[in-house]
């Protein structure tokens, strides 16, 4: 067993950090407070080919695995850009997973190259108000119109929908009652996010405000038959090639944010003097930082194991992806919370950035799936306990 990153991954980590270092805390604080998409940052990463990390070389990407994507996203998250930096890129990285694995050749030729260069922005359209994690309960549906389809419904929490030209939509094509299993009968479309048929409303929220989250109201959106991803009725199962990588790379990002917070808090604890000595000399300050550091190390290994399993085509991916997400979200948020405690009042002040990391790390315990639903998955599918809901 070798825990050392190989040379390619080391280079990816180093070069992504170097590029991200051009965008400092002030940049992110500013974009976050003005709710402004970080275009300069996005374009620099796009120009340098980073968005195509998972896209096969044949379609203009680097053809690397989820571990490489995780290393990249951990690097940008730990730069001080936190979730804003990671989310600006990651939709185009894991979001196209189902297209890479299940799309038609024509679809891949058409959409993967512009995704790799960063020109094409894709939003993810799965969650609905009334369905949430109970994905089988989605109401957005598609009906046939000759060779094409017409979609009606409503999606929520669509990241970057304001910028996106395309949306990967999960819709019902067969009513749940008529399906053998509740998760059958759904289909996946890489639909045009046509503003004539879709209304997009930004949701005001606690953090990660440089990257918008939205509600999308879809009214009789015409979708070409060629925009169907894979097979009719297999949408949910195909979507797993986006959902599992999503959990894994978000775990990597949570580790990145947590590390950043601990780094800042450690530097602060070493120089902030109270009662004539640095506060880092106090174990009440030092132990939580050391504890968080070790939690982040553990979470860092777990997401990499999940990525390794995914990249080698292993079978235990769901369990590992959920476990990595659970551990990293806890470790990342706790690290930010403890960093805030170390900074005291200054941790609450915007100027010191800790409150921004804290707001963004909090999201990881809810998204892309709540800790509780991830635990349910582990209880049922890893431990073999009866389903609780």
Partner 1 sequence: MKILVAVKRVPDPNATIKVRPDGTGIVTDNLKYVVNPFCEIAIEEALRIKENHGGAEVVLVSVGEQVCQEQLRTGLAMGADRAILVLQDGDVEPVIVARALAKLVEQEQPDIVMLGKQAIDDDSNVVGQMLAEMLGWGQGTFASEVKLSEDKSSAVVTREVDGGLEDVEMPLPAIITADLRLNEPRYASLPGIMKARKKELKEIPLGDLGIDQSVQVKVHKLSPPPERQAGKKVETVQELVDLLHTEAKVI
* Residues contributing to the site for partner 1 (CB under 8 A): 7-8, 10-12, 14-15, 18-19, 47-50, 52-53, 62-64
Q: How far is the CB of 266 from partner 1 (least distance, A)?
A: 13
Both structure tokens of 278: 């640095």
Residues 299, 255: contact at Cβ < 8 Å? Answer: yes
Residues 32, 90: contact at Cβ < 8 Å? Answer: no
Q: How far is the CB of 155 from partner 1 (least distance, A)?
A: 31
User: What 8-state DSSP symbol labels residue 385?
Assistant: P
Q: How far is the CB of 288 from partner 1 (least distance, A)?
A: 22
Rounded to whole angstroms, the Cα distance separating 341 from 345 reads 8
Rounded to whole angstroms, the Cα distance separating 112 from 130 reads 32
Rounded to whole angstroms, the Cα distance separating 176 from 251 reads 32
Q: How far is the CB of 254 from partner 1 (least distance, A)?
A: 23
Distance of CA 228 to the CA centre of its chain: 23
Q: How far is the CB of 356 from partner 1 (least distance, A)?
A: 22
Q: How far is the CB of 44 from partner 1 (least distance, A)?
A: 8
User: What 8-state DSSP symbol labels residue 208?
Assistant: -
Q: How far is the CB of 19 from partner 1 (least distance, A)?
A: 5
Q: How far is the CB of 100 from partner 1 (least distance, A)?
A: 16
Bridge pairing between strands 186-192 and 166-172:
antiparallel
Task: Give the start-end residues of each E strand in the chain.
Answer: 122-125, 141-145, 148-156, 166-172, 186-192, 198-202, 214-223, 228-229, 273-274, 277-278
Q: How far is the CB of 304 from partner 1 (least distance, A)?
A: 19
Rounded to whole angstroms, the Cα distance separating 336 from 358 reads 5
Burial class (CB in 10 A: 0-12, 13-18, 19+), 15: middle
Residues 299, 262: contact at Cβ < 8 Å? Answer: no
Q: Residue 19 or residue 279: which is nearer to partner 1 going by CB?
A: 19
Is residue 255 left, alpha or beta, with left meaning phi > 0 and alpha meaning psi from -120 to 50? Answer: alpha
Q: How far is the CB of 74 from partner 1 (least distance, A)?
A: 15
Rounded to whole angstroms, the Cα distance separating 195 from 188 reads 20
Is residue 65 left, alpha or beta, with left meaning phi > 0 and alpha meaning psi from -120 to 50? Answer: beta
Rounded to whole angstroms, the Cα distance separating 58 from 79 reads 31
Give how far Cα 329 sits from Cα of 83, 93, 360, 361, Å.
Answer: 12, 20, 11, 7
């Amino acid at each position: 067993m070798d825990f050392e990153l190989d040379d390619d991954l080391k280079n990816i980590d180093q070069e992504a950090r170097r590029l991200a270092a051009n965008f400092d805390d002030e940049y992110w604080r500013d974009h976050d407070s003005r709710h402004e998409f970080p275009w300069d940052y996005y374009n620099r990463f796009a120009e340098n080919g980073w968005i195509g990390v998972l896209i096969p070389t044949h379609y203009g990407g680097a053809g690397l695995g989820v571990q490489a994507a995780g290393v990249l996203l951990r690097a940008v998250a730990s730069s001080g850009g936190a979730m804003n930096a990671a989310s600006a890129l990651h939709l185009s990285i894991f979001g196209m997973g189902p297209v890479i694995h299940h799309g038609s050749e024509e679809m891949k030729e058409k959409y993967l190259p512009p995704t790799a260069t960063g020109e094409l922005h894709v939003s993810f359209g799965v969650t609905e108000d009334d369905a949430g994690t109970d994905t089988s309960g989605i109401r957005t549906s598609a009906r046939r119109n000759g060779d094409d389809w017409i979609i009606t419904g409503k999606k929520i929490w669509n990241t970057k929908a304001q910028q996106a030209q395309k949306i990967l939509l999960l819709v019902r094509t067969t009513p749940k009652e008529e399906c053998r299993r509740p998760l059958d009968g759904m289909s996946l479309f890489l639909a045009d996010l046509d503003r004539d048929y879709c209304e997009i409303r930004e949701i005001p929220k606690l953090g990660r405000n440089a990257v918008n989250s939205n509600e999308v109201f879809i009214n009789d959106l015409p979708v070409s038959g060629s925009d169907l991803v894979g097979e009719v009725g297999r949408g949910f199962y195909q979507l797993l090639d986006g959902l599992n990588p999503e959990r894994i790379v978000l775990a990597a990002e949570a580790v990145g944010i947590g590390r950043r917070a601990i780094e800042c808090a450690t530097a602060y604890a070493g120089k902030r003097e109270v009662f004539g000595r640095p506060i880092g000399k106090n174990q009440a300050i030092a132990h939580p930082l050391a504890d968080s550091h070790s939690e982040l190390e553990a979470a860092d290994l777990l997401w990499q194991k999940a990525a390794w399993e995914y990249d080698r085509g292993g079978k235990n991916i769901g369990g590992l992806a959920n476990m990595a997400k659970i551990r990293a979200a806890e470790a990342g948020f706790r690290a930010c919370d403890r960093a805030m405690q170390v900074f005291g009042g200054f941790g609450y002040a915007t100027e010191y950035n800790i409150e921004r990391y804290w707001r963004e790390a909090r999201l990881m315990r809810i998204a892309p799936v709540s800790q509780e639903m991830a635990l349910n998955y582990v209880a049922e599918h890893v431990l073999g306990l009866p389903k609780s809901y």
